Amino acid sequence: MARLTQSYITGEGSGQLLYETIGTCFDRVVTQHPGNPALIVRHQGVRWSYQELKRQVDRLATGLLALGIKPGDRVGIWGPNSYEWVMTQFATAKIGAILVNVNPAYRLFELEFALNKVECKAIIAAEKFKSSEYLNMLSALAPELASCEPGYLRADKLPQLMTVIRMGDEKSPGMFNFEEVCSLGKEKHYTRLGELATKLGPDDAINIQFTSGTTGNPKGATLTHCNILNNGYEAGKGMGLTPDDRLCIPVPLYHCFGMVLGVLAAVTHGATIVFAAPVYDPLSTLEAVQAEKCTALHGVPTMFVTELDHPDFETFDLSTLRTGIIAGAPCPEELMRRIIGDMHMENVLIGYGQTEVSPINHMTLPEDSLENRTQTVGRPIPHIEVKIVDADNRVVPIGEQGEICTRGYSVMKGYWNDDEKTADTIVDGWLHSGDLGTMNEHGYVRITGRIKDMIIRGGENIYPREIEEFLFTHPKVSEAQVFGVADPKMGEEVCAWIQLKSGETATEDEIRDFCRGQIAHFKIPRYVRFVDEYPMTVTGKIRKIDMTAMMAEELRQGAA
């Protein structure tokens, strides 16, 4: 292996990229493996072969065409993991509609912004899950649903949204039922579906995923067929997936980890997708791996911790496991040893990236040393260029810290309807990650910090500015500063230091109650402190680094 002197490397890989649409790839795999198990959704009793999955996908695709959904229209999907989610992922791809992933944890404030930002024409939503009353929230934002005909919504707060499709067996005023839509397709719509297969292109936008914004509201990362299809394919190659493999996916579908590194990684290699539960549950995951004889398992580090620490862990036979991907947060060496030794995942991989690169640009491989599999995020994946640059955008020598940048097929088209933020992020074709790192002489990259003001809690990326802007809407709040504090279980937890308006008083619970129902549960501050002033630099800038240190000391003393 040649030794590098500058922090620039191209991922080594053989063969061509998949320059085709997701629909074309899917149909090709179905032709090759029609009887192979494609989708197992244990909590819904679904066990479909590739041939049956295609039949169900085409039913939904033609139903959407019958409703007037056209290439380029944005269609939201909102709910936990389900067979309907997977059907929607492939059905929208086959008709050229742009799938908009809505975080299942979103509440009213976030939902309204997301749907309006990308001008969703339709949304497919679950009825409810746990505390998330999806249909009730939609009705709260669009009370006009109570009196409109399905497909003819005209809502003041959601002016572009015309069609709401609800999952489940029941019907709701102003909404289509999911199965009802699947039965709408006629012969002409199947003919149209065949025509679209020849007209859609690999470089067409096909997916929008929201990434929280450092300067406020979420941004819609716009991804193409070529972006996510190849990223999934390369992830599958790294795991060595074949049609004999079964991949258990406990991570959420709304995120690239689930729908790209999970679903598309499996489908591009003819493997079987297994869902244990609507959202992650350690017991259900262990049960699924054993019962379905899964060979691969995904997760963020905290998921593997809760599986390994489950009181019944020793009773499960996980000997069929071989591989999988750990992503979302650094994996400690001791945890990696337990995953390899106790879960039999000798070929487990570490993946690193971000939504804007579809989502991974680095990956470790099974033959990498344990040190490189725990202390680094590996080398660039095939066909991807990576460089590390200084503040003047110059490539730094090996071993020096700088910002990690990516160029290649995986880089997003841009942020939806936001040329300014796109230009700030993609410079001369290079996507600037905001992450700091170093590269060694063999091309392995170590993450050393972040330029972006970001919290990573249990694999969820949280940008403080978004929470700060929401807290500003509280009538008693004059100023809010949000930052992360270390947590042994979640990696980081959210902390808010709040200055109240003159004469006002408030409690921690009052602030948290204000957040509930408006922002996702994982963004609600675990720690709230009321302060009279913030630590400042001599030039008047707030020093969050000092606040983080002060909070860490307070928590340390409290635990002593």
DSSP readout, 194-249? HHHHHH--TTSEEEEEEEEETTEEEEEEEEEHHHHHHHHHHHHHHHT--TT-EEE-
How far apart are alpha carbons 453 and 365 in whole angstroms?
Answer: 30
Q: Which residues have C-beta within 8 Å of that of residue 87, sequence separation ≥ 6?
A: 53, 56, 57, 60
User: Each residue's pLDDT tens digit in the chain (560 positions)?
Assistant: 679 999 999 998 778 899 999 999 999 999 999 999 999 999 999 999 999 999 999 999 999 999 999 999 999 999 999 999 999 999 999 999 999 999 998 999 999 999 999 999 999 999 999 889 999 999 999 999 999 999 999 999 999 999 999 999 999 999 999 999 999 999 999 999 999 999 999 999 999 999 864 445 789 999 999 999 999 999 999 999 999 999 999 999 999 999 999 999 999 999 999 999 999 999 999 999 999 999 999 998 889 988 999 999 999 999 999 999 999 877 878 889 999 999 999 999 999 999 999 999 999 999 999 889 988 999 999 999 999 999 889 999 999 989 999 999 999 999 999 999 999 999 999 999 988 899 999 999 998 777 767 888 988 888 787 898 899 899 999 888 999 999 988 989 999 999 898 899 999 999 999 999 999 999 999 999 999 988 875 545 677 888 999 999 999 888 76
Residue 51 phi, psi (nearest 5) = -65, -40
The type of residue at 13 is G
Options 3.40.50.1110, 3.50.50.60, 3.30.300.30, 3.40.640.10; CATH of 455-559: 3.30.300.30
| Mutual angle of helices 50-66 and 22-32, in 10-degree steps | 150
Q: In the structure encoding, which two tokens stand for residue 432, read together?
A: 């600037």
How far apart are alpha carbons 480 and 525 in whole angstroms?
Answer: 11
How far apart are alpha carbons 142 and 36 in whole angstroms?
Answer: 43
Q: How far does the chain reach from its first CA to its final CA, in angstroms? A: 49
In words, the CATH class of domain 49-219 is: alpha beta
Which pairing describes strands 246-248 and 272-275: parallel, antiparallel, or unpaired?
parallel
The domains of the chain are located at: 49-219, 455-559
Residues across the chain:
560
CB 310 within 8 A of CB 339: no
Which pairing describes strands 205-213 and 216-224: parallel, antiparallel, or unpaired?
antiparallel
